């Protein structure tokens, strides 16, 4: 097994990175190795030096890659070289002292509260299975703040309607429990009954019209389709509903630690970004309400 494959197996089985992360790292490393072969033919990974890494970074930037994209790709390389040093395949880190481009500060996009109320309370998704499921998907993401991959991998056994809670398996197999509102539990019962009437299997909680496990693109299409009906924000992905969940919770007085646990963040710093959204909302209210603003 070569170095790259050994590394990918390590992050997949031992670090338990998500399938998306592993695929992303694989693509980034393969892109670097193609560039390396073109730049210095015959150079193997143990022979990579600081100049090679910096040269690839400059090449990416000159090719139009954003600072965020460069950071992600450098993160893949950094993890690889750390793995190689651990196995004594290299003695020094080629990325030591590398200065990355500064990323522009971007606030997480979120949907206004009144827009989601309008969508969930007034819009008719349809009384057939597809309509009931689509509404349940949108509301589930908004009420729990879970990731798209977490929603897709929910099993019937993870959803405890009698206790009003759902067990979520997040990154690196870490589990957390999220409460479900009583009104939403009734909606979930309606969805399960509709699924049963269609004769669809119940191993996976969310399924396609044909009874297969729900997949990434299907969830993405559902969310973007319905959010487009109530908001004009540029991003309308499932992750926006996660941002919306956190922002609305914070705006209504929830403390950061509680939101951190509900989101399944490893550290509080990842959750603190939502305080910026709240501050922007406060500034907006201040400008509207204060006579001297």
166: β partners = 159, 178
Q: Whole-angstrom Cα distance, residue 220 to residue 115?
A: 19
User: Which are the contacts of 121, defined by CB distance < 8 A and separation ≥ 6?
Assistant: none
Would you state the structure tokens that stand for residue 115, as one six-digit string? 């827009």
Catalytic residue (choose from 118, 155, 171, 235): 171
- 87 catalytic, yes or no? no
Q: Whole-angstrom Cα distance, residue 106 to residue 100?
A: 17
Would you state the structure tokens that stand for residue 3, as one six-digit string? 């170095």
Please say whether the beta carbons of 280 and 107 come within 8 A.
yes
- 274 catalytic, yes or no? yes
Please say whether the beta carbons of 277 and 108 come within 8 A.
yes
Question: How many CB atoms sit inside 10 A of residue 170's CB?
Answer: 18
In 3-state terms, what secondary structure has residue 160?
strand
Please say whether the beta carbons of 90 and 47 come within 8 A.
no
Question: How many CB atoms sit inside 10 A of residue 100's CB?
Answer: 13
- 189 catalytic, yes or no? no
Catalytic residue (choose from 242, 243, 248, 260): 242
Would you state the structure tokens that stand for residue 177, as one six-digit string? 């429990």
Residues listed for the chain: 293
- 265 catalytic, yes or no? yes
Angle at the Cα of 272 from the Cα atoms of 164 and 255, rounded to 5 degrees: 45
End-to-end Cα separation, the chain, in angstroms? 65
Catalytic residue (choose from 26, 71, 118, 265): 265
Catalytic residue (choose from 83, 147, 148, 195): 147
Which residues are known to be catalytic?
147, 171, 239, 242, 265, 274
């Amino acid at each position: 097994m070569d170095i790259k494959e050994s590394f990918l197996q390590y992050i997949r089985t031992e670090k338990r990175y998500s399938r998306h992360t592993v695929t992303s790292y694989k693509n980034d490393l393969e892109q670097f190795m193609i560039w390396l072969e073109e730049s210095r033919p015959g150079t193997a990974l143990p022979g990579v030096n600081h100049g090679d890494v910096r040269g690839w970074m400059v090449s990416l930037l000159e090719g139009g890659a954003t600072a965020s994209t460069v950071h992600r790709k450098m993160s893949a390389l950094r993890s690889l070289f750390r793995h190689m040093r651990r196995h004594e395949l290299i003695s020094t880190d080629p990325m030591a002292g590398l200065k990355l481009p500064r990323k522009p500060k971007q606030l997480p996009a979120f949907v206004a509260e009144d827009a989601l109320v309008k969508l969930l309370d007034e819009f008719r998704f349809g009384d057939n299975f597809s309509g009931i499921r689509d509404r349940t998907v949108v509301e589930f993401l908004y009420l729990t703040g879970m990731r798209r991959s977490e929603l897709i991998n929910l099993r019937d056994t993870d959803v405890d309607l009698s206790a009003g809670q759902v067990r979520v398996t997040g990154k690196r197999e870490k589990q957390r429990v999220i409460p479900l509102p009583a009104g939403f539990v009734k909606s979930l019962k309606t969805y399960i009954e509709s699924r049963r009437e269609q004769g669809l299997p119940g191993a996976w909680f969310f399924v396609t019209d044909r009874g297969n496990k729900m997949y990434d693109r299907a969830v993405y299409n559902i969310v973007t389709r319905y959010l487009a009906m109530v908001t004009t924000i540029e991003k309308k992905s499932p992750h926006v509903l996660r941002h919306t969940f956190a922002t609305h919770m914070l705006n209504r007085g929830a403390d950061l630690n509680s939101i951190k646990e509900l989101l399944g963040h490893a550290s509080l710093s990842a959750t603190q970004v939502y305080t910026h959204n709240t501050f922007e909302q406060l500034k907006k209210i201040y400008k509207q309400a204060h006579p001297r603003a």
